[in-house]
Structure 1
């Protein structure tokens, strides 16, 4: 199920705690790690390829990233799935966050196939993640946290996936 932009913004505002920039109050690293491992296994099965991952990003509100290798995708461009420490928020992008203005531009450029995107989005939804489009994450941040010392133009991506220290 795809959530509307209004619903996603409301969710991000709800998760935004200005007292806890790096992780939420009841953050359970072990639980997040188990869910992340499950997502890795699912993507490896769906794409029939081993996926590299990074986790426990220091000084960041991002938990980790999973890289679906380029050779496993229809267009030959890797897919990166970023997972936040907040509310199981996730982002899907072609190549790297910020490489394109979003999945729509990546599709138009011929580097992201909609079937591959649908495969990742389905895995995220079935495993309890909330996928937030890169286009929305790159919009101006309008929440209560003081992010200006960490970014000249704070975005929702800065808040939930970026380095904040």
Structure 2
């Protein structure tokens, strides 16, 4: 079941630890990698295509990304799934993060099929990920961590998917 915006903001606040910007205290790299591998395999099976991926991102709170190729989607636009090192958070985007103002806009502009989005969201839910809409992640960050050094405009995306160094 999808979480409401209020529930998602509460979760983001709960996961926010100003002492640990890159990964949470009890981060299990091996378990995160296994779960991510399962996500890649699931999306490849669901879309019938090989998916490129990046994993174990250095100096970032993002663990990795899976790219569902454009030719495997109804609208011909690739789907990118970003996975955070925090709390199994995930984000689904058409083309790339920031290419659209979220999945609603991507759908309205003909770049994202709702069936494809539902397929990705179901895979995330089945594997225990919490999907956070890009629109919410792009809202102003209001937590205790100091992000000014890492982002011109601190957002929840910068906190849980951005580069920290």
- TM bucket, shorter chain: over 0.9
TM-superposition CA deviations, 1:62-110 (whole Å, max 9, x none): 0000000000000000000000000000000000000001000000110
- Residues paired across the two proteins, number: 165
CA distance in 1, matches of 2:130, 2:100: 21
Instruction: For 2:152 and 2:111, locate their aligned partners in 1 and report how far apart those are by CA, in whole Å.
Output: 30
Please report the RMSD computed on the Cα atoms of aligned residues, expressed in angstroms.
Answer: 0.4
Q: TM-score, normalised by structure 2?
A: 0.99
The gaps in structure 1 that reach 5 residues or longer are none
Match of 2:44 in 1: 44
- 1:113-152 equivalence runs, <5 A: 113-152=113-152
Shift in Å at residue 56 of structure 1?
A: 1.1
Deviation at 1:17, TM superposition (A): 0.2
Taking the TM superposition and a 5 Å limit, the aligned residue runs for 1:78-117 are 78-117=78-117
Structure 2 unaligned regions, length at least 5: none
CA distance in 2, matches of 1:149, 1:71: 39
Paired residue secondary structure (1:35): helix
- Name the CA distance, whole Å, in 2 between partners of 1:135 and 1:164: 21
What is the distance in 2 between the residues matched to 1:113 and 1:164? 33
Give the drift of 1:152: 1.4
- Match of 1:65, SS? strand
Q: Provide the residue aligned with 1:158 in structure 2.
A: 158
Matched with 1:9 is 9
Report the CA distance between 1:164 and its aligned residue. 1.5
Runs of 4+ in 1 over 6 A off after TM superposition: none
